[in-house]
Structure 1
Amino acid sequence: MKTPLWFCLFVLLCAPARIALCQGEPVQRQLTPAQQQADFQLFRKALQEVHPGVYRYTPKAVFDARFDSVAARLTQPQSEQAYYAALTSLVVQLRCGHTKFIPADRDDKYPYHTSQLFPLRLHLLGGRAYVLYNYDGSTAIPAGAELLRIDGRPVDDILTGLLPYVSFADGATTTAKWLELQAFFAGYYAAFAQAADRYTVEYRRPDGQVAQTEVPATTLTTIKAVEKQRAPAARYPLQLDFRPDGAAVLTIDHFWVEGKQQPYAQFLREAFRQLRARGTKSLILDLRNNEGGNDSYGTLLYSYLASKPFRYYQRIGTHARRTSIQRQVHSEWFYGLYRRVFIRRATDGIYEFRGRKGLKLQQPQPEAFGGDVYILTNGWSYSVTAEFAAVARRESRATFIGQETGGAYGGNNSGFFAFVHLPNSGITLGLPVWSYYMAVPDTAHPERGIVPDYVVEPTAADVLRGTDREMEFTLDLIRRKAATSARE
């Protein structure tokens, strides 16, 4: 479902080149009201005629009123950045994290003022911000300090003001929004709040003393270099580790396997064979930061935990075969073939895609694991990961630990993608074209994520010390259960 590499390449191919400044940031133009309105009408039609879930989480009357409200304000010339912000507010109202909105020739996380970025890497928890490090290497503000104000504005006001511009979430979930804002605060702050050459920062030291200092802005080049240096070493995305205490940890970083790596199905088959051979009784499935991938991978993974046949997807909705803006819509060459062969109109008038294995009754694997399962999730447990977790939750197959998933319990909009380029503003709109509905009870809260049985959140101190709070909690839970069983 999430294919970020080809998505980025496609966006680059679709967007025409722009004149760039010497430091690498494209020149911003002033857009006339006529240019804004023309792009807006194409933007609105693309959402209404291509996106499969425009009104899935926001009622049509409410969303249409918001469309009209934004359109009514496009009466004065404004910069590309201001226009981008106005339309981003509507993209967020979709409550669909798979929808992308990317200005031409710009980094989608740091689109504007890339030489005036806020220089501190933050950890957000409970609406508060803590400093992890300065991108320029300065230690003037100590690691672990709580950030209180930026240029006199309280941090909680800043975070509250930025959150409405973060679209990475499904339905009513917010955990992914906070992680996204935490990871790319500098980009969001420059795009939707302010950018400056220097920032006055008020903070509370770990010893409780309040101090204030001025810090120079940093650049996108510096941020990317530091984050690359601090990133963990590349590894195979599927890992199975057996612990001395008898528990096993299966870590899945993402649901796709590239190049010459061991095929996913082969890895799972061998992993669960080993679990059975060793007589493993407790399996920790670490799906934190797993943003998804191939939807069939989630179905296959659950078949190794199931004890009986199970339903995975209830249905997959989509739009009719053609739209009024057909010539402006671009997608993969094979998408048209899929639509001609697999799209059918259901009895309720909704178009459905019927070509996925996950729509059929699924069977458990012969070597399915029968022991205790503990699943670790956070806000970046998304897309395919949330789909898998929804079925595991429905079947009461695991104990969940960590934070609520960013993907919604009831499903998501994803699958194939279509792209519409707004010619005047240079923005590319990336739209999912399938709407996945999970086979879960209607009585649940499908717009929420999978809420853990035990909510465990890492602190800034945990991050700085390298402490894995969620894993430690899970291992302690397993030890306590084993001790209780031994006494009985």
Structure 2
Amino acid sequence: MKTKVILQCGFIMAHLFCGLKVSGQSVLTLPQLKEDFQFFRTAMEEAHPGIYRYETKSVLEDSFDVVSKALVGPMTQQEFYKKLNPIVARIGCGHTKLMPSEDKGFMYYYNTENLFPLKLFLEGHKAYVLSSYDSSIKIKPGTEIIGINGMAIKDIINGLLNNLFSDGHNQTFKYYELNRYFSALFSNFYLEEGMGNDKISITYKDHGRKGRMDLPVVSYQWIKEIDEEEGNKIPYQLEFKEGNTALMTIRTFWPDQEKYNFEEFLKQSFASINDKNIQNLILDLRGNEGGKDGFGALLLSYLMDAEFRYYDKLLLATNEKFSFVEHAQLPEGYDQLRALITQTEDGEFRWEHNENLNIQTPQENRFTGEVFVLIDGACFSVTSEFSAVAHSLGRATFVGDETGGGYYGNNSGAFAIVTLPNSKIELGIPLMAYYTAVQDYEFTDRGIMPHYQVQPTITGVLSGRDEVMERTMKIIKKR
């Protein structure tokens, strides 16, 4: 994700929780809930530059009013979080975050000692076992899970989709989050904190035969260790394949610059590609959630033979001081930076100090052959910006699944981190709306649609096949 100015939290605390405890959590009184809700609504309406980008003002006002009326009695933090979350999801901004805790782990907010122990792969409204976080659980990979704790898996998936954030009305990024964080999300929304959930019941189907099993829960620390082992990969690499084809894999646009120099990688890679007279370049961006926006424009400059525009404009909600500033951490020097915001005649508040707003110049050692970009729902933020402009310019053939990031841009850049004074829930609001220099796209509220759609299947994943790469190589050979 575009994390240029994502900030750590540390705020003035205006109120204290009351002393009563339920299920291990402090209970918020109705006046406390009402106050927090008003802070939440005010912050979103004042600061979010894309709050009405995909939903009308009247629709969102109705959503706020529904939740306000539902606050009729004391609640735990988790209960309150579940009331607020669908509003944030409805805005259609994958960079906006609602974070109940900062010390347990991203997405892992509640029941972190009692988590669902299976790693799942979702296809539509079906869920299949990929593996288990607990080796004592004897269940075959590929087994279909049809229910958890008496709830149909279809209903669980629908409920979680309504609580996940993505750009516009995109679904592929939500499925990416579901596949990656199902254990956390299930615990956040379907288990109550502190209720002694030491077993989770599942119903399953294996070769048409149904069964039931009680599974032992696992802790977040156990999941974290296993996931970190699987996630340690080189951020980018170059390989040469048969048929005058090169494969460039870029897993992130936010690498450790002390260990990996992205600019040097591109310079050396394209020099080598041209020296070998490569005709086809496969650019694998799957799983790349974004990073530094300048890296997207830089990569595209190695693929273009003429000048091009990358960003069309960058907008903010206002140049006024926020009313909730005492409960927020803002970018360093934000009061001084506000003076640089330009208000146009039509009332837009623009930020005109980003190099990607300038005309972009092709690199001297650019690649002029065929480009194939592999994409999926994890392609977000900078990755979707690059893909959108390359797609709009007709520079590449896209293979895979719809990107998670919006075609016309996103809301990101600098962030305001607002702490609700009573519940201590943290609301991360992006302060800048990015608009890519694209046009005439059919799906105004979606990501980049591939020219060749290929969705991985549970059969392909379990057999170790890369179905997207296989399809790409067939396309190249056919051409």
Which of the five TM-score ranges fits, normalised by the shorter chain? over 0.9
For residue 242 of structure 1, what is the aligned residue in structure 2? 240
Residue pairs, 1:273-288, within 5 angstroms: 273-288=271-286
- Tell me how far apart the structure 1 counterparts of residues 292 and 134 of structure 2 sit (CA, whole Å): 38
For residue 99 of structure 2, what is the aligned residue in structure 1? 102
Are 1:413 and 1:433, in contact at CA under 8 Å, matched by a contact in 2? yes
2:118 to 111, 117, 120: 120
For residue 217 of structure 1, what is the aligned residue in structure 2? 217
TM-score scaled by length of structure 2: 0.93
CA 1:442–1:35 in 2, change beyond 3 Å: closer, same or farther? farther
SS of 1:110's equivalent in the other structure is coil
For residue 339 of structure 1, what is the aligned residue in structure 2? 338
1:157-200 per-position Cα deviation (integer Å, ceiling 9, x unaligned): 11112211111x10011101011011111111111123532222
Cα deviation, residue 99, structure 1? 0.7
SS of 1:148's equivalent in the other structure is strand
- Tell me how far apart the structure 2 counterparts of residues 460 and 443 of structure 1 sit (CA, whole Å): 32
Are 2:12 and 2:326, in contact at CA under 8 Å, matched by a contact in 1? no
For residue 22 of structure 1, what is the aligned residue in structure 2? none
For residue 46 of structure 2, what is the aligned residue in structure 1? 49
For residue 352 of structure 2, what is the aligned residue in structure 1? 354
Are 2:327 and 2:420, in contact at CA under 8 Å, matched by a contact in 1? no
CA 1:33–1:422 in 2, change beyond 3 Å: closer, same or farther? same
Q: Output the amino acid matched with 2:40.
A: F
Are 2:104 and 2:112, in contact at CA under 8 Å, matched by a contact in 1? no
- Tell me how far apart the structure 1 counterparts of residues 257 and 12 of structure 2 sit (CA, whole Å): 28
- Tell me how far apart the structure 2 counterparts of residues 67 and 471 of structure 1 sit (CA, whole Å): 44
SS of 2:414's equivalent in the other structure is strand
Q: Output the amino acid matched with 1:354.
A: E
Cα deviation, residue 139, structure 1? 4.4
SS of 1:436's equivalent in the other structure is strand
For residue 204 of structure 2, what is the aligned residue in structure 1? 203
Provide structure 1 residue ranges, at least 5 long, that are not aligned to the other structure.
20-25, 482-488
Q: Output the amino acid matched with 1:2.
A: K
For residue 302 of structure 2, what is the aligned residue in structure 1? 304
Q: Output the amino acid matched with 1:39.
A: D
Are 1:410 and 1:445, in contact at CA under 8 Å, matched by a contact in 2? no
1:223-258 per-position Cα deviation (integer Å, ceiling 9, x unaligned): 2222233x14342x1211112432101111111232
For residue 485 of structure 1, what is the aligned residue in structure 2? none
SS of 2:139's equivalent in the other structure is coil
CA RMSD of aligned residues (A): 2.1
- Tell me how far apart the structure 2 counterparts of residues 373 and 62 of structure 1 sit (CA, whole Å): 41
Residue pairs, 1:350-389, within 5 angstroms: 350-389=348-387
Q: Output the amino acid matched with 1:339.
A: R
SS of 2:410's equivalent in the other structure is strand
Percentage of pairs with the same residue:
39
CA 1:134–1:443 in 2, change beyond 3 Å: closer, same or farther? closer
For residue 39 of structure 1, what is the aligned residue in structure 2? 36
Residue pairs, 1:65-76, within 5 angstroms: 65-76=62-73
- Tell me how far apart the structure 2 counterparts of residues 43 and 2 of structure 1 sit (CA, whole Å): 23
2:428 to 427, 430, 438: 430
- Tell me how far apart the structure 2 counterparts of residues 233 and 244 of structure 1 sit (CA, whole Å): 27
Cα deviation, residue 443, structure 1? 5.0
Cα deviation, residue 55, structure 1? 0.9
Residue pairs, 1:248-287, within 5 angstroms: 248-287=246-285
For residue 444 of structure 2, what is the aligned residue in structure 1? 446
Cα deviation, residue 83, structure 1? 0.1
SS of 1:3's equivalent in the other structure is coil
Q: Output the amino acid matched with 1:197.
A: D
Indicate yes or no: 2:211 matched with 1:194.
Answer: no
- Tell me how far apart the structure 2 counterparts of residues 286 and 335 of structure 1 sit (CA, whole Å): 37
SS of 1:184's equivalent in the other structure is helix
CA 1:254–1:88 in 2, change beyond 3 Å: closer, same or farther? same
Q: Output the amino acid matched with 2:232.
A: A
The farther-off stretch of 101-110 and 312-321 is: 101-110
Cα deviation, residue 448, structure 1? 0.6
- Tell me how far apart the structure 2 counterparts of residues 262 and 117 of structure 1 sit (CA, whole Å): 35
Are 2:371 and 2:395, in contact at CA under 8 Å, matched by a contact in 1? yes
1:247-279 per-position Cα deviation (integer Å, ceiling 9, x unaligned): 101111111232423432222122111111110
2:58 to 61, 65, 71: 61
Q: Output the amino acid matched with 1:178.
A: Y
Cα deviation, residue 442, structure 1? 4.7
For residue 29 of structure 1, what is the aligned residue in structure 2? 26
SS of 1:122's equivalent in the other structure is strand
Q: Output the amino acid matched with 2:244.
A: G
CA 1:92–1:246 in 2, change beyond 3 Å: closer, same or farther? same
Cα deviation, residue 138, structure 1? 2.9
1:419-467 per-position Cα deviation (integer Å, ceiling 9, x unaligned): 1111100111111100001111155322110011111122223223322
For residue 388 of structure 2, what is the aligned residue in structure 1? 390
Provide structure 2 residue ranges, at least 5 long, that are not aligned to the other structure.
18-22
Are 1:379 and 1:404, in contact at CA under 8 Å, matched by a contact in 2? yes
- Tell me how far apart the structure 2 counterparts of residues 398 and 443 of structure 1 sit (CA, whole Å): 16
The farther-off stretch of 251-260 and 310-319 is: 251-260
- Tell me how far apart the structure 1 counterparts of residues 326 and 306 of structure 2 sit (CA, whole Å): 47
2:127 to 126, 129, 154: 129
TM-score scaled by length of structure 1: 0.91
2:402 to 404, 412, 432: 404
Residue pairs, 1:73-88, within 5 angstroms: 73-88=70-85
Cα deviation, residue 92, structure 1? 0.6
- Tell me how far apart the structure 2 counterparts of residues 68 and 150 of structure 1 sit (CA, whole Å): 32
Are 1:287 and 1:381, in contact at CA under 8 Å, matched by a contact in 2? yes
Q: Output the amino acid matched with 1:223.
A: I
The farther-off stretch of 456-465 and 90-99 is: 456-465
CA 1:260–1:151 in 2, change beyond 3 Å: closer, same or farther? closer
- Tell me how far apart the structure 1 counterparts of residues 221 and 261 of structure 2 sit (CA, whole Å): 35
Cα deviation, residue 87, structure 1? 0.6
Are 1:401 and 1:456, in contact at CA under 8 Å, matched by a contact in 2? yes
- Tell me how far apart the structure 2 counterparts of residues 337 and 389 of structure 1 sit (CA, whole Å): 34
Are 2:11 and 2:328, in contact at CA under 8 Å, matched by a contact in 1? no
Cα deviation, residue 336, structure 1? 3.9
Q: Output the amino acid matched with 2:339.
A: R
Are 2:12 and 2:327, in contact at CA under 8 Å, matched by a contact in 1? no
Indicate yes or no: 2:473 matched with 1:472.
Answer: no
